[in-house]
Amino acid sequence: MNSVKELRLWYLPIMIGLFILSCKTIPFEEYPIISFEEIVASKKLGNDYQVILIDSHNKLLSAKDKEEISLEYYHSEFRSKSKDTLYRKIIKMRPSIDERMLQVLFQNIDDIPSQELYKNSIDINCSELKPLFDSLHFRDQDIRLHPDNYNRDQRRSIDKENVEIVEGIIDKCGFLEEYSREIWLLIHHAPFMIQVKYYQDLNELYKNRIITAQEIGLLRDRMLLQSGFHQEYGSQVNEKVNYNIYDIDIVDSLRKQMGMVPLEEYYEVLWGEQRKINEQE
């Protein structure tokens, strides 16, 4: 009995200390501002951070609050507490699509495999890439338009080889504007971590109007879903209509901004009469 009492007496000050700490107001504004872009760029170079979450009143979040919060519904502001420690203030408001994509990168960029030397035996001549890209494009589309002609291992092997070749091209020749759409297509169909690796490069191509809004929108939706988030534009579909869409009330407005047709027209293009039959069953 005495040992239990002693344990309680020893544990009580710790609990009181944690309670006081949780009520403490963090002098958030006194610390230097650091942007989300800077943080992601630093993590891409191999740097890591301890992130301390605080609420809009500059109070530390409890463990329970952290479990219940989905960061895709919060705007974030960052301050640098020290070289490897950040305060992240979260505010209940819709984050921009750019911020949501930075969250995807922030969560996954540590897992990008280190760059391997290009091992494919094909010789890459940066001044004569058209035949190579024509071949890559044909293979990429053929396994998707005629899947019955390939077994699963063959499809995976072709995708893997395509990714290796396009990484080799990027490594040797850079993101060539002339073949930007082909590069986008191959990365769009690549494994998730390849998409994470090159998303910012492709987003720059979009900002410079080299690839289209529709193309970057398709990639964003695919990456968001693979990160466990909701998609922005509803471009990724399965047998469910309105599949994991972030804000269904404004999705058509967002799609219009990206040069996409309304969802209903999109579904009609994808499924046509078959959709009407499924709805009647």
CA 52 – CA 69 distance, rounded (Å): 14
Q: Is residue 164 part of a domain?
A: yes
| In a domain? residue 252 | no
Position 193 in a domain: yes
Dist CA 245 CA 252 (whole Å): 11
Domain of residue 22, residue span: 2-95
Same domain, 147 and 84: no
Residue 6 lies in a domain: yes
- Together in a domain, 140 and 72: no
Looking at the fold, whether 139 and 220 belong to one and the same domain comes out as yes
Q: Using CA atoms, how far apart are residues 173 and 129, in angstroms rounded to an integer?
A: 10
The total domain count for the chain is 2
Q: What is the pLDDT of residue 118?
A: 46
**pLDDT value at residue 120:** 57
* Residue 17 shares a structural domain with residue 75: yes
Whether residue 81 sits in one domain with residue 161: no
Examine the domain organization and report whether 184 and 135 are in the same domain.
yes
Where does a domain end: 213, 229, 245?
229
Based on the domain organization, do 64 and 146 belong to the same domain?
Answer: no
Residues 135 and 49 in one domain: no
Judge if 8 and 85 occupy the same domain: yes
Strands 85-92 and 74-82: antiparallel
Residue 113 within a domain = no
How confident is the model at residue 75, as a pLDDT? 96
Q: Do 152 and 64 sit in the same domain of this protein?
A: no
Burial per residue of 106-123, b for 16 or more beta-carbon CB atoms within 10 angstroms, e otherwise: bebbeeeeeeeebeeeee
Same domain, 90 and 166: no
Whether 246 is in a domain gets the answer no
Q: Is residue 73 domain-shared with residue 134, that is, in the same domain?
A: no
Q: Are 132 and 166 in contact (CB under 8 A)?
A: no
Look at residues 47, 75, 95 and tell me which one is the last residue of a structural domain. 95
pLDDT of residue 11: 56
DSSP-derived letter for residue 87 is E
Residue 277's pLDDT is 43
pLDDT tens per residue, the chain (281 residues)?
555 455 555 555 555 554 555 567 999 999 999 999 999 999 998 899 999 999 999 999 988 888 888 999 999 999 999 999 999 999 999 999 999 999 999 999 987 765 554 455 578 999 999 999 999 999 999 999 999 999 999 999 999 999 999 999 999 999 999 999 999 999 999 999 999 999 999 999 999 999 999 999 999 999 999 999 999 999 998 777 778 999 999 999 999 999 999 999 999 888 775 555 455 44
